[in-house]
Amino acid sequence: MELAVYNIEGSKTAKTVKLNEEIFGIKPNDHAIYLDVKHHLASRRQGTHSTKERGEVKGSTRKLRRQKGTGAARIGDIKSPVLRGGGVTFGPKPRDYSFKINKKVKLLARKSALSHKVKDDKLMVLEDFSMEEPSTKKYLEILKKLDLEGKKSLLVLPDHDRIIQLSSRNIPRAFVARASQLNTYMILNVDRLLLMESSIGEIESVLLKKES
């Protein structure tokens, strides 16, 4: 499978890159994608939500009225869950939402997500480029030339590039990540995936290495 390489001016160059069919050309497994995205989002949850139960609410334990003879329902103290300001019955408590997922499933999910992007024509390969100094304006001009202004985009770098990271961080919906950081959620959460030419080899080496 070959894709054309574009420059940062938005023009197609004479170069092409060959993508590994085992990573970018498989039949996507949507269930694996679902499990991996669910795992990722669950792991991000803080789980610090908490409510007070009856025994944790401050208040008197005096019985509010006698048990029988009032014509009304029986009731206990002021901390009863049926009263306003009382305790919460079966309310949320701090918990860990993360769960285990097999490495092979995560691997399959990433390959499926990349294959989806290729099939939907939402993956673009860019010539390697660098910036001399951080400039939000220059990075925004690159996005405009690629017709990505206002759209969600993810630029995948072969390695950490502090200048490009700083240039993009103030632009809404424009994300930058290293190839080694790429996960299923990041791939699917953008309208267009931009791969630097040299990042493709890094992606393939990471995914094929984990497979073996």
Digit-coded pLDDT (tens) for 75-129 = 999 999 999 999 999 999 999 999 999 999 999 999 999 999 999 999 999 999 9
Q: In 10 A of CB 202, how many CB atoms?
A: 19
pLDDT above 70: percentage of residues in the chain: 99
Contact 110, 36 (CB under 8 A): yes
User: How open is the CA angle 172-177-182, to the nearest 5 degrees?
Assistant: 120
Check: pTM over 0.75? Answer yes or no. yes
At residue 1 the predicted structure's pLDDT band, cuts being 50, 70 and 90, is confident
| Every domain of the chain and the residues it spans | 2-45+99-211, 48-96
Q: Is the pLDDT of residue 15 over 60?
A: yes
Q: Which fold has domain 2-45+99-211?
A: Ribosomal Protein L4; Chain: A; (3.40.1370)
- pLDDT tens, position by position, 142-175: 999 999 998 999 999 999 999 999 999 999 999 9
Phi, psi of 204 (to 5 degrees): -65, -40
Rg (CA), the chain: 27
Contact 37, 23 (CB under 8 A): no
